[in-house]
Amino acid sequence: MSASALPSSGPAAQGVDAAGVHAFLDALEAAPEIEPHSLMIMRHGHLVASGWWAPYTAGRTQLLYSLSKSFTGTAAALAEAEGLLDFDAPVISYFPEFEADITDPRSRAMRVRHVASMSSGHERETVEEAFGRDPGEPVRGFLLLPPDRDPGTVFAYNQPTTYTLGAIVQRVTGQSLSAYLRPRLLDPLGIGEVYWRRDRTGREIGFSGLHATTDAVARLGQLYLNDGLWEGERLLPEGWAARTARPRVPTAGAMGDADRQDWDRGYGYQFWTSRHGYRGDGAYGQFCLVLPEHDAVIATTAATERMQDLLNLVWEHLLPAFGPEPLPGREAADTSLRERTGRLALPPAPGAPTPPDRAGDWAAARFTASGDGPVRAAGLARDADGWTLTLSEDGDPDGEHLRLRVGAAGWTVAEEPLPTAVSGGWTGPGTFAVDVVFLETPHRLALTCSLAEGTVIARWRTQPLERGRLTSRRAPRGSV
């Protein structure tokens, strides 16, 4: 089997009931607050079901948000195996230039294992404080924040812990995280190149910012399910998967939401313990679910603030579909599922491709922002090929603009100036409304232009967590 293709099988041959997968898809698509983007299901080492909701596609990299952390933790495991990193060493020992500045005894007592397990002793998220304290060196900014309690005694979901772990890996290896992982993990797994956002120090940020395909997520999950073995080759230290999945400190109530059962089961080394198995996860539904009890891996990307609801649907519908034995005579059901996953699509926004009247008034219309939003001005222009929507984030007519083609029907996909898909059109005599999907992220921007008011309203369906202009909503290829 080529490294570029996962072994595949019909679901029934691996004991997976296609009816359960159908039920999951039905429930997912019926959930009004969940927008699914991709799904891959591995069972007994075989890909048994996969699909992408158009305009998302299989080969497209995706911003994984905090699922990036699981890749950072994997890099730390490899560095430890090579004798470059010690999980029991003080964090400050890797940054001797800060010795004179870091005087708090709890900060000085913080070990690598504490930042790897988000048990630094802080009781809160400190990302704004750490980056604000020292924007040029966030590790120093973090270490200057005295922990509230002794390291190892309390959990807080805290981005600078993972940032510091990633910074240690990059310091001891002399490489970026992605460069270090490429020959040791990414290439052997058949993932190849990934893209990771950097900060002003030049570091890949570790806690977020990784862009990779859903296939990459599934391969990482399968590697962990196999205790670090891939096609007979050991890529991760024996026993690391169990070590990273073992909860280090209690997390119950730490996320501040009583209805987050899968966040109350403990945190290991950059992986969460779940009600079933363990997982890496990222904001808005980017999941790598490792299910040893079912010999299964589930990888998803999505756009939802209801992440617990998405997991609940997995536990309710997919887990019962995993049976102990092959299911004979299910070829028709398997074929039906394969056909369905091959035609998954997000419904385009409604709208007519041309104005119902007063087309001349729309042909060079300009709009200014109404209310808050990422777009401060917009314009429409018509040419022989159709319509172009121009968006400005600062309202400056001579400033940077994002120009998008508006197609006749369905989703209009463009790769430049960045990967987007646009749908919508005229929803009434004086209203133009479109959705813009930034295809290398989970995010969709909804825009409504009023001809009578001369206004544009823009709002995110899910708010991007990383700062940047509209044109930055893409994989950071070639960034430094």
- Does one domain contain both 300 and 392? no
- Does one domain contain both 182 and 217? yes
Boundary-marking domain end, from 341, 375, 392: 341
pLDDT digit string, tens, across residues 3-16: 578 999 999 999 99
- Please provide the DSSP assignment of 355-367 as one string: -SS-HHHHTT-EE
Residue given tokens 């960045």 in the structure block: 418
**In-domain check, residue 419:** yes
CA-closest candidate to residue 458, choices 377, 355, 351, 400: 377
- Does one domain contain both 392 and 325? no
Residue 422: strand pairing partners: 412, 436
**In-domain check, residue 286:** yes
Q: Which residues contact 11 (CB under 8 A, 6 or more apart)?
A: 17, 18, 21, 41, 43, 48, 49, 321, 327, 330, 333, 334, 337
CA distances from 266 to 137, 260, 374 (A): 30, 12, 37
- Does one domain contain both 143 and 259? yes
**In-domain check, residue 6:** no
Confidence of residue 256 (pLDDT cuts 50, 70, 90): low
Supply the mean pLDDT for the chain: 95
- Does one domain contain both 269 and 144? yes
d(CA 13, CA 33): 34
Amino acid at 178: S
**In-domain check, residue 281:** yes
d(CA 468, CA 471): 8
- Does one domain contain both 56 and 152? yes
Q: Are 224 and 182 in contact (CB under 8 A)?
A: no
Q: Which residues contact 323 (CB under 8 A, 6 or more apart)?
A: 15, 16, 17
Task: List the single range of 169-178, 321-330, 388-397 with lowest mean pLDDT.
Answer: 388-397
- Does one domain contain both 130 and 187? yes
Task: List the single range of 46-50, 79-83, 338-342, 370-374 with lowest mean pLDDT.
Answer: 370-374
Residue 95: CB atoms within 10 Å? 19
pLDDT surpasses 60 at 283? yes
pLDDT digit string, tens, across residues 57-100: 999 999 999 999 999 999 999 999 999 999 999 999 999 999 99
Boundary-marking domain end, from 306, 341, 376: 341
**In-domain check, residue 347:** no
Average pLDDT over residues 183-205: 97
Q: Are 66 and 281 in contact (CB under 8 A)?
A: yes
pTM for the complete prediction?
A: 0.96
- Does one domain contain both 333 and 363? no
**In-domain check, residue 322:** yes
- Does one domain contain both 152 and 192? yes
Amino acid at 373: G
- Does one domain contain both 266 and 408? no
Boundary-marking domain end, from 291, 307, 341: 341
Average pLDDT over residues 410-432: 95
- Does one domain contain both 322 and 369? no
**In-domain check, residue 353:** no
* Per-residue confidence (pLDDT) for residue 396, from 0 to 100: 74
Q: What stretch of H or E contains 180?
A: helix 177-181
Residue 167: CB atoms within 10 Å? 27
**In-domain check, residue 480:** no
CATH number at residue 396: 2.40.128
pLDDT digit string, tens, across residues 459-471: 999 999 998 999 9
List the domain range (segments joined by +) for residue 269.
12-341
How many structural domains are present in the chain?
2
- Does one domain contain both 383 and 270? no
pLDDT surpasses 80 at 2? no
Q: Please tell me whether residue 113 adopts helix, strand or coil conformation.
A: helix
Helices (H) and strands (E) in the chain, counts: 13, 20
CATH number at residue 115: 3.40.710.10
Average pLDDT over residues 302-309: 97
Confidence of residue 398 (pLDDT cuts 50, 70, 90): low
